[in-house]
Chains A and B, each alone.
Chain A
């Protein structure tokens, strides 16, 4: 297992730093998936327990001038690492005036991602900053839980307003209630609503536009004025919005019909959301585990920051 990459362009470095800072705001620890073409930051398999999930993808050739990796084997040419996102963000932030930045997978009494930065210096000698970020290598048998999500049908999908505006509104609403209702329809209208005994506050966004429907049937069924509503924990939404420092190139919000199969085995409750890579056949359901099929909504945010895509899933409150 080997990985080595280098960034020499200042703009690429800044962009990569911004991505890592965003990830650090969205997740404490996450999985970094390294494959020959892409880098992914993944937070997965949490939706069942009410947590959020995330899939962030970037094409390595848009950032790195050199990129070499070798996965576990030729058939499984990928590396999955668990790391503390803030470490990577902090390391990259020290590369403000860097001539070059190198990242390598190393083993210094424990596996590390070593970030080595050569700084520009007024004097003739170079200055080098090295960060050893401890990582945990994820064994291949756990990879199936960390695959790209497949997006099921959505009731409604809508373009989002300027995220900073949305964030400042949601921030104020948080002081009043933790329970936020998001309503959207196919006429480009989005409402953010909180209701308490004493007061009900709604913010209306209009003329947002809707992305073209995935299939013809879906759009014809639904009256454009009809609102689809989903209830979410306001803090989760706020954490997501706070992570977006720059307004994305494109931002879409979908309300997904989620269906989860809960497997209870060995006292551990885990959910397999729709995006599991491994499609277990019926056989798996009969191996002595109890299964509950639960239909629950998920709010799906699909953002594009220049050339970095971010998908973020917030489960609805039941």
Chain B
């Protein structure tokens, strides 16, 4: 195999490798007829990422020497990333990048031709491997949304970089909602801040999903593709299905396409309240400039019932009983049991060396990792605070 990348495409390749490094520790490189494929998967098999660079992306592309079978190899991500470590330097100094692999040598050779005649050669040892294939088809997903990467980049800006998971869904008024997702802590005295971003339908190039659908996935992994899409100024599309089914994030242009397939939390694991609630209804119309507040408006903000309960239990130091919140009529339960819920609770995890579980299900080979904690019973209807003013 021999590929030659020149000019600005070297940085694009480097950026793709950076994105892939957010997912997995091993890079699967496979030269195909229709281009060079770089793939990776994470250790818990809950995230898969793949970039395919078309032959036209390269100044020269030779998948296999005639008569020989195309070689596949698996390299340590760390090693390949080291070649493109500093993208700023790559952009400034590298003129050409040549990746070659021949059957005799045991090394993948990456050679950077830089300015002033400097040539850097990296010999990366590899392992032969099977082709890494994930089974997914964006066309099978009923829900799609697509927006310029910039819009999605702005959408995730309010969320802290450390936030692990986020819920994406369609709220009332066809607004796209992103909300931080926190797993319920055993120590419920320390609560985390919840952040929510709401974007109008008009900012999306395509929005094919009903109100109320939502998926929860790993934000950190998504950021990997998002940063690539932002730097390449591409649109990013999200194809998703019911909670628990993997979500497919895709970017595409004439020379390359990228897919990130991420597992989503299944319904029985979800704790967050419904996205479509009376509160969100009021976000849809543009907020009015100066409405005279009515006394009634405060009634719904009143937390006196909480205060009263506190004073009666205030004698015992430390523990404060939180009273059960009265259910507000008219709100429907946030989730109905999904196809994966009760049946698989008791199934013990038989896979050796299963990493500490997130509750994500494996995407591959039909296996389903059982969650360690049996999911709690149907979460109580959470009475949203209703805002008084329009």
Contacts and interface: CB of A to CB of B under 8 A. Distances in A.
B384 interface: yes
Contacts of B385: 106-108, 112, 114
Interface stretch (A51-59, A119-127, A158-166, A198-206): A119-127
B202 A125 contact: yes
A93 to B, nearest CB: 9
B311 A139 contact: yes
How extensive is the interface on chain B, given as a class? 35 or more
A81 B20 CA distance: 44
Contacts of A72: 307
A211 interface: no
Contacts of A32: none
Contact of A87 (B158, B193, B202, B286): B193
B325 interface: yes
A104 B286 contact: no
Contact of A90 (B154, B193, B302): B193
Interface string A88-125: 00110010000110001111111110100010010111
Interface stretch (A129-137, A143-151, A222-230, A272-280): A129-137
Contacts of A294: none
A83 to B, nearest CB: 9
- Which secondary structure characterizes the binding site on chain A? strand
A127 B200 contact: yes
Given A125-B203, A129-B195, A1 B303 contact: yes
B160 A90 contact: yes
A121 B201 CA distance: 13
Which residue, A84, A100, A111, A126, has most C-beta atoms of chain B within 10 A? A126
Nearest to B200: A125
A68 interface: yes
A64 B286 CA distance: 20
Interface string B349-370: 0000000000000000000000
Given A130-B198, A134-B191, A134-B192, A110 B322 contact: yes
B155 to A, nearest CB: 8
19 contacts: A1-B303, A70-B298, A87-B193, A94-B157, A104-B301, A108-B194, A109-B382, A125-B286, A126-B200, A126-B286, A128-B197, A128-B198, A129-B158, A129-B198, A130-B197, A131-B195, A132-B195, A132-B196, A134-B191
Interface of A: 1-4, 66, 68, 70, 72, 84, 87, 90-91, 94, 99-100, 104-112, 114, 118, 121, 123-134, 137, 139, 141
Given A105-B303, A129-B198, A141-B314, 17 more contacts: A1-B307, A4-B298, A94-B158, A99-B287, A105-B301, A106-B303, A107-B303, A108-B384, A108-B385, A114-B385, A124-B200, A125-B202, A125-B203, A128-B197, A128-B287, A131-B194, A134-B192
Q: Which 5 A-B pairs have the closest CB atoms?
A: A125-B200, A134-B191, A94-B158, A106-B385, A132-B194
